[in-house]
């Protein structure tokens, strides 16, 4: 058979087809079967709404009469830190082994359209979730919510004209000079009580994550800074929220549309204020799946009885150099008592995932959002449902609108 998606069917009919040998199981979550005999190709118009985001993506597939599929994908948030760590190891290694060579880190030109690896991965995730949904349902149209944020306008509502070229650091030689001036040339921990005239800049959050932006820097004296680094005191400061999410959406808003159009989807776009207005009119609470529902044109259709939560995880650690532990051989086996990390298992009738394991044969099992089911389960008490994947999928009962009997995806 061709493997093209059809409209969902009922669980009863799916059981009959499987029992008669007229279909085979393709996927467990969500449950998808493939027909083994020719059939008609009558399909309704299915609109896919995508609520694009920096950390979460909402998706909803809606037909004329009902919602067919709903999911929320949680994107990876560890890539920036891991890439910064890799860069640190690379520079240290070059300094040790190639100290006699001229530095070459500024002689490479980025190709047109280049994106940082973390941003490129999030962009790819948006495209991938649309492709995965189109493999389940005959999607005829895709609507994506895009957004353009003016970061300087968010900081200062009255900004205009030349003020866009005169930011916070206008008139200062560097970031350090600006931070000292902003903090009044005074230690923000002891307020000058140490009488130490030497001032330094302290990163509130790790430089790997927070960067060198002024909002992540604090003026402290050398005495307090050294004491903090020794662990004797803690410099308490609450970091200000950055604008990573807004910058990401501004950067990739049209790239998502272009990527989907290149694949061959009929794509259109909408804006956040329209989504908010339609969601409030429908009386729906704020959530990514509800936003995706109204983006897809949802207006009074019967909602699906279940929604899926998908979490992206790292599959392998392929780092050749691991800092101070590089000389220690990695002795952890991939499989332990026939289970591996992120396997989907059944424990006491509860579907959960293996988040931690011990050599003694006991496992830490949790739901996809991290909710602990049991911290120490023996291998004999677990039943393997699905092998580990980079996408952990969990089915949840939706509680927002009247239930609809759960459907089963089918293919030709």
Residues 71, 77, 80, 84, CA torsion sign: negative
Q: What is the pLDDT, as a whole number, of residue 347?
A: 96
154: exposed, middle or buried (Cβ count in 10 Å: 0-12, 13-18, 19+): exposed
What distances in angstroms separate CA 247 from CA 58, 258, 341, one per listed residue? 19, 18, 34
Q: What is the pLDDT, as a whole number, of residue 333?
A: 84
CATH number of 43-91+114-154+243-315+394-402: 3.30.420.10
Q: What is the pLDDT, as a whole number, of residue 408?
A: 61
Alpha helices in 20-171 (DSSP H): 79-97, 117-134, 151-155
Q: Per-residue pLDDT tens, the chain, 412 aa: give them.
A: 678 899 999 999 999 999 999 999 999 999 999 999 988 777 889 999 999 999 999 999 999 989 999 999 999 999 988 988 888 888 888 888 988 888 777 778 889 889 999 999 999 999 999 999 999 999 999 999 999 898 888 888 888 888 888 888 888 989 999 999 999 999 999 998 999 999 999 999 888 888 888 989 999 999 999 999 999 998 988 877 788 899 999 999 999 999 999 999 999 999 999 999 999 999 999 999 999 999 999 888 899 989 999 999 998 877 777 777 777 777 778 899 999 999 999 999 999 999 999 989 999 999 999 999 999 999 999 999 999 999 999 998 865 443 334 456 655 5
Q: The pTM is what?
A: 0.86
Report which of 57, 10, 4, 63 is spatially closest to residue 34, judged by C-alpha positions.
4
Q: What is the pLDDT, as a whole number, of residue 383?
A: 96
3-state helix, strand, coil in the chain (%, to 5): 30, 25, 45
Q: What is the pLDDT, as a whole number, of residue 223?
A: 94
3-state secondary structure of 184: coil
Q: What is the pLDDT, as a whole number, of residue 412?
A: 58
Q: What is the pLDDT, as a whole number, of residue 379?
A: 94
Q: Where in the chain is the domain with CATH 3.30.420.10?
A: 43-91+114-154+243-315+394-402
Q: Residue 291: count other Cβ atoms within 10 Å of its Cβ.
A: 25
| C-alpha to C-alpha distance for 5 and 285, rounded to whole angstroms | 31
Q: What is the pLDDT, as a whole number, of residue 403?
A: 35
* Strand blocks (E) in 315-370: 344-347, 350-357, 362-366
Contacts of 1 (CB under 8 A, 6+ apart): 34, 35, 36, 38, 411, 412
Alpha helices in 287-392 (DSSP H): 288-295
3-state secondary structure of 332: coil
Phi-psi region of 192 (alpha: psi -120 to 50; beta: other; left: phi over 0): left
Q: What is the pLDDT, as a whole number, of residue 398?
A: 62
């Amino acid at each position: 058979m061709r493997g093209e998606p059809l409209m969902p069917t009922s669980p009863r009919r799916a059981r009959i087809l499987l029992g008669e040998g007229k279909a085979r199981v393709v996927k467990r979550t969500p449950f998808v079967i493939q027909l083994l005999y020719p059939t008609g190709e009558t399909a309704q118009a299915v609109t896919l709404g995508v609520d694009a985001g920096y950390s979460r993506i909402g998706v909803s597939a809606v037909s004329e009469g009902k919602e067919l599929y709903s999911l929320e994908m949680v994107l990876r948030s560890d890539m920036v830190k891991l890439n910064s760590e890799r860069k640190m190891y690379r520079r240290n290694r070059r300094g040790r082994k190639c100290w006699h060579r001229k530095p070459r880190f500024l002689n490479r030109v980025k190709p047109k359209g280049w994106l940082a690896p973390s941003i490129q991965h999030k962009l790819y995730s948006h495209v991938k979730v649309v492709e995965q949904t189109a493999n389940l349902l005959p999607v005829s149209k895709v609507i994506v919510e895009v957004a353009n944020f003016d970061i300087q306008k968010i900081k200062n509502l009255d900004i205009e004209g030349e003020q866009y070229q005169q930011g916070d650091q206008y008139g200062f030689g560097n970031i350090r000079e600006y931070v000292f001036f902003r903090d009044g040339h005074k230690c923000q921990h002891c307020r000058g009580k140490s009488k130490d005239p030497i001032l330094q800049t302290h990163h509130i959050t790790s430089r790997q994550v927070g960067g060198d932006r002024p909002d992540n820097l604090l003026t402290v004296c050398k005495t307090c800074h050294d004491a903090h680094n020794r662990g004797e005191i803690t410099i308490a400061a609450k970091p200000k929220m950055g604008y990573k999410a807004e910058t990401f959406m501004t950067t990739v808003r049209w790239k998502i549309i272009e990527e989907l159009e290149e694949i061959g989807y009929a794509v259109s776009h909408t804006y956040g204020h329209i989504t908010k207005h339609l969601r409030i009119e429908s009386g729906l609470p704020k959530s990514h799946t509800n936003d995706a529902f109204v983006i897809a044109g949802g207006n009074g259709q019967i909602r699906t009885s279940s929604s899926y939560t998908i979490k992206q995880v790292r599959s392998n650690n392929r780092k050749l150099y691991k800092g101070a532990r590089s000389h220690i051989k990695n002795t952890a086996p991939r499989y332990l008592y026939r289970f591996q990390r992120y396997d989907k298992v059944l424990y006491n009738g509860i579907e959960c995932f293996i988040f931690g394991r011990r050599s003694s044969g006991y496992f830490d099992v949790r739901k996809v959002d991290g909710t602990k089911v049991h911290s120490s389960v023996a291998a004999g008490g677990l039943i393997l449902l699905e092998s580990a994947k980079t996408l952990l999928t969990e089915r949840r009962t939706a509680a927002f609108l009247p239930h609809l009997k759960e459907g089963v995806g089918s293919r030709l």
